[in-house]
Structure 1
Amino acid sequence: MHAWIVEQWCEPDQMSWQEIHLPKPGARQVIISTAAVALNFLDTLMIRGQYQLQPPFPFSPGVEISGTVVATGPESRFKTGDRVCGLIDYGGFAEQVLASDQQLVKIPDTIDFNTAAAIPVVYPTAWCALQMRSALQPGETVLVHAGAGGVGLATIQLAAHWGARVFATTSTAEKRQICVDNGAEVAFGYDQDWRTTIKELTGGKGVDVVVDNVGGSVTLESVRALAWGGRLAIVGFAGGEIAEIPANRLLLKNASAVGVMWGGYYHHQPEQVDPVFCGLFELLGQQAINPVIGATYPLTEAPKALQQLANRKTHGKVLLLP
């Protein structure tokens, strides 16, 4: 089988398409015939050596997959033929993937592979940010940065479904409309004075929850935009800069800043994983959420797709199809 391989830290166009051989699955492992791979911004960081997880060379990037189990190791909870999706450490840009049982969940029969591949990173991350880390309540206000990205749109959809009033920021007029179409009341450009306008729209109160996937100056402005008792949920740093949060601002507003690392639950609190997916699959069945797939590419065009993502020329989820 073939996979995109990284042999040194590189740009997307420096990955190489190689024939490789997977080892036999060990205890509680399976091999999956890949049906779809979803791209994430972390993929661009991982191949450059800028992500917190740095796999040993050579490796294949890609962490969000769906497919069919074609081989199982001892004690696996899956069987050959099971349709699964999941969040893996790396190795997804490949025709077949070796994965641990605990990284995977079964896909309900009513959900297709493309939709399933668009779930495991962004929707659980949004669920974690809003419910598990920010304790969002109906009627509260939520500000979502990078609103037209995968995590952003998932957060907008979930927050709106749970009865929140949702604002968003993003880069272009087209992306602002996408945010509104998915449940945001208002979407702002980064170059607009969104903090002042949101203050006005909330009667001077500010927002109860900010979900920040950008970092840098956006994080600092977000702290200033928080209401009394507000929560800043830090999801990532797509802007490339990690902000130093002024503790006095948090103190004066009785506010809190929390990290959101959904992937950590697989290792530290694995019992939390399946219930979140069950909840998400239920919402999918009710059509309360709807993954936005902005583009699909053949797996053989992974470098092109990843470069588009790195250049912020995409919205929603971008899929690679073998």
Structure 2
Amino acid sequence: MQALRVIELTDSLDGVELAELPQPQRQPGEVLVRVQAASLNFPDLLMTQGKYQFKPEVPFTSGLEMAGEVIEADPASGFAPGDRVIGGNKTGAFAEFASISERGLSPLPQGLSFAQGAAMGAAYSTAYTGLVELCELRPGQWVLVTGASGGVGLAAVDLAKAMGAKVIAATGVESKRVRIEALYAPEAVILAEGRFREQVSDITGGALADIVFDPVGGDVFDECTRCVAFGGSLVVVGFTSGRITEIPTNIPLIKGFSIIGLRAGEYARRFPERGAAISAQIAQLASDGRIKPAIDRVLPLSRWREGFEAMARRELVGKVVFEPGV
């Protein structure tokens, strides 16, 4: 089978290659899936460089998440050949076949294509866990989402709107503002450069944001600490800027806000019943047509470098989806 392999950790993608491998053998507790679509996430890029907190042993097959069709499963697993599923492991999705833990799979929501299903899992699980599960998002609250053109940021904008929140989407690229507005119609789209607190204050009538959802870190995080309302929450999602920030503890003390660290995958592993409930809620929202993942482009897996490089250059508005075997 065709698979995207990381054979060496480098900053240049020169350690990544498309290879031919034997089809994986399903182990007990796993489901063998024919992969129809697999989406690119920022951790996939970081793992090729050895810069993600999870560091698989080299060589490994890249890819966090996919959508596909069940080929083989244990009779007691709840899955059967022909079932359409989404999910993944921490690696292995960028291949024609993947053997995935039963707990890492769920049914493809009705009405979604394989590409849409592949683009939904990690991004919407992260958004839902942070906004709804941990911050208890309520209708009418103000939510500031940074990195709003990326997969996770766009999912947070989409989900917050679906839950009745008022959303300010912040992007670091001026040319992406119109595309974000067209996708999900947030209350405002701002440029996350320099001091943007005054923009947030003006938009919210001085109230600032009840929840700040930040996948960016760096200078953007520093400014986000000035954008949180008293009693609000600042959700630390990631550091796509490349800089992990530090914060003087007197800032949340004086402003009375909470800082919440978000690792949705780890949350689901530690609390599997809650993780399953989150997946079910996301699937229901998708089946009802209330949320829909944004896809920037669909590429054959043979053009994997194009997708990775577009992500590295911050060109994307939405997800890249690869189709193995095409």
TM-score normalised per structure 1: 0.95
Question: Residues 26 and 73 of structure 1: is their aligned pair in 2 closer, same or farther, counting only changes over 3 Å?
Answer: farther
Q: RMSD of the TM alignment (CA)?
A: 1.5
Residue 286 of structure 1: CA displacement?
Answer: 2.3
- Give the match for residue 9 of structure 2: 9
Q: Is the 8 A contact 1:233 1:260 kept in 2?
A: yes
The residue identity in structure 1 corresponding to 2:315 is K
Q: Is the 8 A contact 1:66 1:83 kept in 2?
A: yes
3-state SS of 2:193 partner: coil
- Give the match for residue 239 of structure 1: 241
- Give the match for residue 25 of structure 1: 26
Q: Is the 8 A contact 2:143 2:165 kept in 1?
A: yes
Question: Counterparts of 1:294 and 1:173 in 2: how far apart (Å)?
Answer: 17
- Give the match for residue 281 of structure 1: 283
Q: Is the 8 A contact 1:26 1:73 kept in 2?
A: no
Q: Does 1:201 align with 2:206?
A: no
Within 5 Å, give how 1:293-312 maps onto structure 2.
293-312=295-314
- Give the match for residue 84 of structure 1: 85
- Give the match for residue 66 of structure 2: 65
Question: Counterparts of 1:190 and 1:109 in 2: how far apart (Å)?
Answer: 36
Question: Counterparts of 2:277 and 2:199 in 1: how far apart (Å)?
Answer: 37
TM-score normalised per structure 2: 0.94
Question: Counterparts of 1:58 and 1:73 in 2: how far apart (Å)?
Answer: 28
Q: 190, 210, 213: which one pairs with 1:211?
A: 213
Same amino acid, percent of matched pairs: 35
Q: Is the 8 A contact 2:7 2:15 kept in 1?
A: no
- Give the match for residue 105 of structure 1: 106
3-state SS of 1:315 partner: coil
Residue 301 of structure 1: CA displacement?
Answer: 1.0
Q: Does 1:253 align with 2:255?
A: yes
Q: Is the 8 A contact 1:87 1:121 kept in 2?
A: no
- Give the match for residue 43 of structure 1: 44
1:11-33 CA-to-partner distances (Å, cap 9, x unmatched) read 33431121112442111101111
Question: Counterparts of 1:247 and 1:183 in 2: how far apart (Å)?
Answer: 35
Greater CA deviation, 14-23 or 159-168?
Answer: 14-23
Question: Counterparts of 2:272 and 2:104 in 1: how far apart (Å)?
Answer: 9
Question: Residues 110 and 191 of structure 1: is their aligned pair in 2 closer, same or farther, counting only changes over 3 Å?
Answer: closer
Residue 62 of structure 1: CA displacement?
Answer: 0.6
Q: Is the 8 A contact 1:3 1:95 kept in 2?
A: yes
Q: Is the 8 A contact 2:195 2:223 kept in 1?
A: no
Question: Counterparts of 1:110 and 1:103 in 2: how far apart (Å)?
Answer: 21
3-state SS of 1:120 partner: helix
Greater CA deviation, 242-251 or 170-179?
Answer: 170-179
Aligned length in residues: 322
Q: Does 1:133 align with 2:134?
A: yes
Q: Is the 8 A contact 1:156 1:183 kept in 2?
A: no
Q: Is the 8 A contact 1:13 1:303 kept in 2?
A: no
- 5+ residue gaps in structure 1? none
Question: Counterparts of 2:270 and 2:35 in 1: how far apart (Å)?
Answer: 27
Question: Counterparts of 2:144 and 2:104 in 1: how far apart (Å)?
Answer: 30
The residue identity in structure 1 corresponding to 2:298 is T
Residue 192 of structure 1: CA displacement?
Answer: 5.7
Q: Is the 8 A contact 1:146 1:169 kept in 2?
A: yes
